[in-house]
Amino acid sequence: MIFDLLEAFNENSLVLYLFVIGIACAAGGIPPMIERNRRRGIENQLPGLLESLSDAVGAGRGLQEAMLEQGRNTPGILGKLLTETLESSHASSFDAALSAFASKTRSSQVQRVVVLIDTAMEQDAPLQNILSDLAMDYERLNDLMNKRETELAGRGILIILFVCIGLPVLIAFIVGLFAPAASGFQIANFNSTFSTFFALASATGALVSGRMMGRARDMLWWIPLWMSTSMLLYLGAVKMIGG
Amino acid sequence: MRKLDEKKEILYVIRTLDVLMSSGVGLEAALHTIGKGGYGIISSDFSSLMKKLSSGKSRGLEFEVKALMNKAESEGYRRLLNTMYTNLTQNTDLIETLRKQGKRMEEDRNESVNKYIEELGGVPETLLSIGMIGPIILAIVGLVPQILGDGAEAIIGSIDQGLINSIVNGGLMFTLIGMMLIGLKAHTKDPGL
- Reduce the secondary structure of chain B to three states and give it as a string: CHHHHHHHHHHHHHHHHHHHHHCCCCHHHHHHHHHCCCCHHHHHHHHHHHHHHHHCCCCCHHHHHHHHHHHCCCHHHHHHHHHHHHHHHHCCCHHHHHHHHHHHHHHHHHHHHHHHHHHHHHHHHHHHHHHHHHHHHHHHHHHHHHHHCHHHHHHHCCCCHHHHHHHHHHHHHHHHHHHHHHHHHHHHCCCCC
The pLDDT of residue B147: 75
A32 and A84 belong to one structural domain: no
Q: How far apart are CA B44 and CA B49, in angstroms?
A: 8
* Domain termination residue (choose one: A145, A179, A196): A145
pLDDT digits (tens, 9 = 90+) for B63-95: 999 999 999 998 889 999 999 999 889 988 889
pLDDT score for A44: 94
Give pLDDT tens digits for B10-40.
Answer: 988 998 888 888 878 888 888 988 888 878 8
Q: Is the pLDDT of residue B157 over 80?
A: no
Distance CA A225, CA A160 (A): 12
Last residue of a domain, one of A124, A145, A166: A145
- Range in A77-81, A151-155, B17-21, B142-146 the model is least confident about: B142-146
pLDDT tier for residue B189 given thresholds of 50, 70 and 90: confident
- Among residues A107, A123, A145, which one ends one of the domains? A145
CB contact under 8 A, A174 and B139: yes
**What's the whole-number mean pLDDT along residues A142-161?**
91
Residue contact A185–B143, C-beta within 8 A: yes
Average pLDDT over residues B111-132: 87
C-alpha to C-alpha distance for A142 and A111, rounded to whole angstroms: 15
By mean pLDDT, which of A192-196, A224-228, B164-168 is the weakest? B164-168
Q: What residues in B contact A112, CB-CB < 8 Å?
A: 12, 16, 38
**What is the per-residue pLDDT for B66?**
92
pLDDT, chain B, mean: 86
Q: Does B16 touch chain A (CB under 8 A)?
A: yes
Confidence of residue B2 (pLDDT cuts 50, 70, 90): confident
Alpha carbon distance A78, A87 (integer Å): 14
* Number of compact structural domains in chain A: 2
Same domain, A65 and A54: yes
Over residues A142-159, mean pLDDT: 90
In this structure, how many other beta carbons lie within 10 angstroms of the beta carbon of residue B16? 22
Based on the domain organization, do A166 and A225 belong to the same domain? yes
- My answer on whether A207 and A126 are in the same domain is no
Cα B127 versus chain centre, distance: 21
Domain identity same for A174 and A115: no
CA distance A227 to chain B (A): 14
A123/B142 touch (CB, cutoff 8 Å), yes or no: no
Q: Are A136 and A155 found together in one domain?
A: no
Q: Are residues A43 and A140 in the same domain?
A: yes
pLDDT in tens, A87-146: 887 778 888 889 899 999 999 889 989 988 888 888 788 889 889 988 998 999 999 999
DSSP A163: I
Q: What is the pTM of this model?
A: 0.82
- What is the nearest CA distance from A185 to chain B, expressed in angstroms? 7
- Interface test with chain B among A123, A174, A217, by most B beta carbons within 10 Å: A123
| Burial class of residue B60 (count of CB atoms within 10 Å of its CB; 0-12, 13-18, 19+) | exposed
pLDDT value of position A224: 95
**Chain A residues near residue B175 by CB distance under 8 angstroms:** 197, 201
Q: 3-class secondary structure for B46-85?
A: HHHHHHHHHHCCCCCHHHHHHHHHHHCCCHHHHHHHHHHH
Q: Searching chain B, which residue's CA lies closest to the CA of residue A192?
A: B169
Residues A94 and A129 in one domain: yes
Does residue B132 belong to the interface with chain A, where contact is any CB pair within 8 Å?
yes
Q: Which DSSP string corresponds to A54-85?
A: HHHHHTT--HHHHHHHHHHHS-SHHHHHHHHH
Please indicate, yes or no, whether residues A24 and A113 belong to a single structural domain of this protein: no
A-B CB pairs within 8 A amount to: 140
pLDDT at residue A26 tops 90: yes
- For A51-62, what is the mean pLDDT? 93
Distances (CA, A) of B180 to A52, A154, B127, B128, B175: 47, 20, 9, 12, 9
Residues A17 and A43 in one domain: no
Q: Quick one: closest CA in A to B122, which residue?
A: A155
Q: Do B131 and A163 touch (CB under 8 A)?
A: yes
Residues A177 and A161: their CA atoms lie apart, in Å, by: 22
Q: How close A45 comes to chain B (CA, Å)?
A: 18
How large is the average pLDDT for residues A167-187? 88
Burial B119-133 (b: 16+ CB within 10 A, else e): ebeebbebbbebbbe
Whether A235 contacts A56, CB under 8 Å:
no
Query: What pLDDT does A1 receive?
Result: 63
Residues of chain B neighbouring A151 (CB-CB closer than 8 A): 117
Instruction: State the Rg of chain B over Cα.
Output: 28
Percentage of chain A modeled with pLDDT above 90: 50
Would residue B56 be called left, alpha or beta, if left means φ above 0 and alpha means ψ between -120 and 50 degrees?
A: left
Q: Is A169 helix (H, G, I), strand (E, B) or coil?
A: helix
Identify whether residues A174 and A228 lie together within a single domain. yes
pLDDT above 80 for B150: no
pLDDT band at B152 (very low <50, low <70, confident <90, very high): low
Contact A9, A15 (CB under 8 A): yes
Report pLDDT for B156.
66
pLDDT at A219: 93
Determine, for residues B187 and A186 on separate chains, whether the beta-carbon distance falls below 8 Å: no
* ipTM score of complex: 0.79
| Neighbouring C-beta atoms of residue B78, cutoff 10 Å | 17
Where are the alpha helices (H) located in chain A, listed in sequence order? 2-7, 13-58, 63-73, 77-88, 94-105, 108-122, 127-160, 167-178, 188-212, 216-219, 223-242
Question: What is the residue range of A47's domain?
Answer: 39-145
Counting every residue, how long is chain B? 193
Q: Name every chain B residue with its beta carbon within 8 A of the beta carbon of A158.
A: 124
Give CA separation, A169 vs A165, A166, A175, B108, in Å: 6, 5, 10, 43
A22 and A84 both lie in a single domain: no
